[in-house]
């Protein structure tokens, strides 16, 4: 009798790669954290981890990006123009596929997190779920009818425009492409540059009121653009005590009762609409394993 299949997952972040082996029920059996250094060193270390275990059925990768997800594109599976030094143009899929001789599924890190929460977390049982991470950068992934959202490329919601009152906040923004887009105003890097401190060390109430303002505008933009049944907000910045509560309260005010649906007209319902990830830091790797399962199927 053959052994039950095992699946590999990689949450490929700009700081670290989290690699995992999981069984057919999604239970993680082994993990390894690999620092994100050069592409060759990082990918080689990931291959070595997976080779230490019995044969896998497939591997799924949720990667920092942007990444080319267009099937048939000559650069499919490549990280494209990324701020991460040395990683622009890196082919992630082909080296893994060649070394491990298994199918490799790829999506963005935030789409993987959205898929993980949809499959096993705060989005379980829903048709449309959005996942927003607010950390060093800002990104959004979405699952629509059980499938991660793709299109021209994939969502790049961190670069949407939001209101910027320069009297209240004269900071020009940290985004190297757009200045004061959402990521340029509200990411952890933006907070560090604006206030001269890392978000986790920042105790100024005015700083967190401003952060809640920006994240609330992002929540409402997501609501009106995608109409998700739930918005899950994660990332290191959102761990600040009180930020989620302030964000919900401000989003409720911004909605102004429109449209007439309980999530936007009932403060208690808003608490169930904008939530923290129930999988915590494991949303991304859970989604990566789900990508592997889908790739194999």
User: Residues 70-112: pLDDT tens digits?
Assistant: 988 999 999 998 878 899 999 999 999 999 999 999 999 999 9
pLDDT value of residue 63: 96
66-69's contacts with Cβ under 8 Å and 24+ in sequence apart are 66/108, 66/153, 66/154, 66/156, 67/92, 67/106, 67/107, 67/108, 67/154, 68/153, 69/106, 69/107, 69/108, 69/150, 69/153, 69/154
User: Residues 170-206: pLDDT tens digits?
Assistant: 999 999 889 999 999 999 999 999 999 999 999 999 9
pLDDT value of residue 82: 85
Q: How far apart are the first and last CA of the chain?
A: 20
User: Residues 129-153: pLDDT tens digits?
Assistant: 999 999 989 999 999 999 999 888 7
Question: pTM for the whole thing?
Answer: 0.94
DSSP string covering 62-117:
EE-S-B---TT-TTTTBB-S-SSTT-TT-B-HHHHHHHH-S-EEEEEHHHHHHHHH
Angle between helices 188-195 and 205-226 (to 10 degrees): 150
User: Residues 266-292: pLDDT tens digits?
Assistant: 999 999 999 999 999 999 999 999 999
Residue showing tokens 């990683």: 87
Contact between residue 7 and residue 24 where contact means Cβ atoms under 8 Å apart: yes
pLDDT value of residue 81: 85
β-strands 16-22, 147-148: how paired? unpaired
């Amino acid at each position: 009798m053959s052994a039950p299949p095992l699946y590999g997952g990689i949450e490929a972040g700009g700081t670290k790669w989290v690699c995992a082996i999981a069984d057919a029920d999604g239970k993680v059996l082994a993990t390894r954290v690999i620092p994100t250094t050069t592409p060759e060193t990082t990918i080689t270390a990931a291959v070595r981890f997976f080779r230490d275990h019995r044969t896998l059925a497939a591997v799924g990768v949720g990667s920092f990006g942007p990444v080319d997800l267009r099937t048939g594109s000559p650069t499919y599976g490549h990280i494209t123009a990324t701020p991460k030094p040395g990683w622009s143009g890196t082919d992630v899929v082909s080296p893994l596929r060649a070394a491990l001789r298994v199918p490799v599924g790829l999506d963005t890190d935030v789409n993987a997190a959205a898929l993980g929460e949809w499959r096993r977390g705060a989005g379980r049982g829903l048709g449309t779920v959005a996942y927003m991470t607010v950390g060093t950068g800002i990104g959004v992934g979405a699952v629509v009818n059980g499938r991660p959202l793709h299109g021209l490329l994939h969502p790049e919601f961190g670069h949407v425009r939001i209101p910027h009152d320069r009297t209240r906040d004269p900071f020009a923004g940290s985004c190297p492409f757009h200045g004061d887009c959402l990521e340029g105003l509200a990411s952890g890097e933006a907070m560090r540059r604006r206030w001269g401190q890392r978000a986790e060390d920042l105790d100024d109430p005015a700083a967190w009121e401003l952060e809640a303002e920006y994240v609330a505008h992002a929540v409402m933009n997501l609501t009106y653009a995608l109409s998700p049944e739930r918005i899950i907000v994660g990332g290191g910045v959102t761990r600040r005590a009180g930020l989620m509560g302030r964000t919900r309260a401000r989003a409720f005010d911004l909605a102004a009762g429109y449209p007439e649906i309980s999530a936007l007209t009932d403060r208690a319902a808003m608490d169930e609409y904008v939530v923290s990830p129930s999988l915590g830091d494991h949303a991304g790797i859970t989604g990566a394993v789900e990508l592997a399962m889908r790739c194999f199927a």
